[in-house]
Chains A and B, each alone.
Chain A
């Protein structure tokens, strides 16, 4: 099977895939790796008929095919295990597996035969499931096995797995890999999407690396190693600025002690994290995505409930405080997914800029919001932060991604915050905006702000941070106080868990 110059441009102008061409051999496990937003999920959606390519084609055995819908993909023998499971909670595992392809007798589901068939299939592929349990009651691992069986039940010859190990325990991962190898050995093709390098090296026969919608490399596990892959995946960071270390750091502004929390799937995301950020320093948190950094920031910001531990802001306990009181205490936040909760796209730039101060006197007069004051405030921020907008009344959704990020940075850094949580502050923005945001973060730090920076870009973390902590599986596994002496390779080893195994403590 072969992709030929696949290009996908969304109606909003985002190009998710640009001229992707490669081949996948039958009977192999083919890994596609890349950061979030690299275009791998989009490419798979195209293959599974959930998206239509803007140009280019997909070939099976040299024949060009069009895949207008998931049903058509299924007919072509393609099965997909989605990252967010496609299960119906109140249905049994059997019903979920057979959904849309149920064995029937005169219009009715032949449930006895369905259970028998599912049971037989599960045995054949050694995927342990309980056919009669309800999907909402079983473990995530079993749900995933059910999803795999769902594809196999439809006779899938090509099995796509999108980030399959993100939700699995190590034991479940081992079993999954054994099953996947079994499929490949039986002549099926497995497409394995991941950003966990170690797993990819373990399972894949071939590896395709994507970055920013482009195919940037193809290799095999024998010909590469984790460090080389990480380099390909992340790309050399552009040397846009030298390091500007902080002067002396001040008092502890933000302290996190023994903090634990769960992720959306109710699994532990962070476990007993201890952190300290002093006034006038930037502390970087690095880690492979999905290792708890997102949740950690959400807990500190007050958007997610902790299951244990404490958060101190200038010595005051804010563990249970509301978002508003945290903000009032000077805790600001550049969110990771700006389109999700960083802006209200249909609303004006003005309304987006005042969300943390609409009760304050800068924008009010006579007890009401004052359009004049809001306008003046917004125009000032727009020009100070160079947001490219015609005026402050256009909807935020009319701005480009980089300008939306500038808008958020303007809001969060507009008046000197005491503590700033900056999650992926430059993701997806152009170099100009990136440089600008770097300068702003430094300026805020130099003015005494305590910055907690979470970045997937190791170059960015190394350039900006005064101290760095590495997070893996929800725990801080390494801390570096002298960032100048640290290399990306050092960080990479700790992120991947290679350091501990090589240097037993």
Chain B
């Protein structure tokens, strides 16, 4: 019975749906991490985007304006992280924790102030970004009910995945991002402006996470609900590490998280402990993290320590002390 449920087309469609925000946010986070800015504000950027999207979309009645607002809402968080970390030298993790808290408080506050309802924006009425209608192809098995008829942002998410993969592999911009993340000093001495690229990275990251937020509040659920990200930003972060910081791996990790989340929803109906099923991807991440780190240490012990340091942006010309 479980197996039937697993391979039903409905279930596979659900996987794609659940994975969409994870995929978008993970790709954003991947860009930021690649550029050497540890970014735990995915959660906050998503929430900010979800709220801004629902509010603007709801008040204007135009979901596309809502989407733009969501992107801007997410990007603002990225900019704040960039300014505090890159200009004031604050620790990106602590700033991230602060920004997440700021967004959680501010979104609830603003929704309550504007609408008088703490739980969310449902009073603004339904306001959804469109789902692509399968049209005459609906009858084709699998294609018709899994791949077609998904939400427009699901397609966007997969496009973003492909674009990020291409960007990091081939585009000058992406190659430079990888360089500054791995050895900022090498990039700086080669004449690359580390700070400018890191700004670009956190802004792109915020925008993509904001888009993920728009999917949450204007995808299937038609309103913003307080704290509706419910840790998805951290799941996306986990996907980045589970995927070994490579676009392909990160994307599949996000899909895996989506699979297990969809599975837990499904199994919840079938009286299998859904909470335990939900822990599987996290445990997998933990093990993956351990193995990854273990491989790194043994590799370093074996040699090839000649190449540059990772992480921690270093700006040339800084105090040598």
Q: Real complex partners, A and B?
A: yes
Q: Which residues of B contact A111 (CB under 8 A)?
A: 170
Question: What band does the interface of chain A fall in when counting residues whose beta carbon is under 8 Å from B?
Answer: 35 or more
**Min distance, Cβ A137 to any Cβ of chain B, angstroms:** 7
**Min distance, Cβ B118 to any Cβ of chain A, angstroms:** 45
Q: Which residues of B contact A82 (CB under 8 A)?
A: 189
A101 and B190 contacting across the interface, CB-CB below 8 Å? yes
- A50 interface contact, C-beta 8 A: yes
Quick one: CB contact mask for A126-146 with B, threshold 8 Å, 1 for yes?
Answer: 000000000111001001000
B170 and A100 contacting across the interface, CB-CB below 8 Å? no
A74 and B191 contacting across the interface, CB-CB below 8 Å? yes
B305 and A70 contacting across the interface, CB-CB below 8 Å? no
B190 and A109 contacting across the interface, CB-CB below 8 Å? no
Task: Indicate which residue in B191, B303, B307 contacts A101 across the interface (CB closer than 8 Å).
Answer: B191
Contacts A10-B321, A50-B189, A100-B192 given; indicate if A87 touches B316 (C-beta within 8 A).
Answer: no
A95 and B316 contacting across the interface, CB-CB below 8 Å? no
Q: Which residues of A contact B193 (CB under 8 A)?
A: 71
Query: CB-nearest residue of chain B relative to A96?
Result: B186
Q: Which residues of A contact B185 (CB under 8 A)?
A: 86
B183 and A108 contacting across the interface, CB-CB below 8 Å? no
B303 and A88 contacting across the interface, CB-CB below 8 Å? no
Complex: how many Å from CA A230 to CA B195? 43
**Min distance, Cβ B187 to any Cβ of chain A, angstroms:** 7
A85 and B189 contacting across the interface, CB-CB below 8 Å? no
Task: Indicate which residue in A74, A87, A107, A136 contacts B172 across the interface (CB closer than 8 Å).
Answer: A107
Contacts A70-B190, A91-B179, A99-B179 given; indicate if A86 touches B172 (C-beta within 8 A).
Answer: no
Q: Which residues of B contact A307 (CB under 8 A)?
A: none
**Min distance, Cβ B245 to any Cβ of chain A, angstroms:** 10
Complex: how many Å from CA A51 to CA B318? 8
Complex: how many Å from CA A99 to CA B175? 8
- B230 interface contact, C-beta 8 A: no
- B4 interface contact, C-beta 8 A: no
Q: Which residues of B contact A140 (CB under 8 A)?
A: 306
- B320 interface contact, C-beta 8 A: yes
- A90 interface contact, C-beta 8 A: yes
Instruction: Give residues 130-154 of B contacting A (CB, 8 Å).
Output: none
B307 and A87 contacting across the interface, CB-CB below 8 Å? yes
Q: Which residues of B contact A91 (CB under 8 A)?
A: 175, 178-179, 182
Complex: how many Å from CA A438 to CA B171? 60
- B89 interface contact, C-beta 8 A: no
**Min distance, Cβ B4 to any Cβ of chain A, angstroms:** 44
**Min distance, Cβ A267 to any Cβ of chain B, angstroms:** 9
- A446 interface contact, C-beta 8 A: no
- A12 interface contact, C-beta 8 A: yes
Q: Which residues of B contact A88 (CB under 8 A)?
A: 178-179, 182-183, 186-187, 307-308
Q: Which residues of B contact A87 (CB under 8 A)?
A: 183, 186, 306-308
Task: Indicate which residue in A51, A70, A90, A107 contacts B191 across the interface (CB closer than 8 Å).
Answer: A70
Task: Indicate which residue in A51, A109, A137, A339 contacts B317 across the interface (CB closer than 8 Å).
Answer: A51
Q: List 15 A-B contacts (CB under 8 A).
A: A52-B317, A69-B316, A85-B186, A85-B308, A87-B183, A87-B307, A88-B183, A88-B308, A89-B304, A89-B308, A95-B175, A108-B171, A109-B171, A111-B170, A136-B304
Which 3 pairs of residues, A with B, have the shortest CB-CB distance?
A89-B307, A71-B191, A86-B186
Residues of B within 8 A of A (CB): 170-173, 175-176, 178-179, 182-183, 185-193, 303-308, 316-317, 319-321
Residues of A within 8 A of B (CB): 10-12, 48, 50-52, 69-71, 74, 80, 82, 84-91, 95-96, 99-102, 104, 107-109, 111, 135-137, 140, 143, 150, 154, 264-266, 339
20 other contacts beyond A100-B176, A108-B170, A264-B305, with CB at 8 A cut-off?
A11-B319, A50-B316, A70-B189, A71-B191, A82-B189, A86-B189, A86-B190, A87-B186, A88-B186, A88-B307, A91-B175, A95-B175, A96-B186, A99-B175, A99-B190, A100-B179, A100-B190, A109-B175, A137-B304, A150-B190
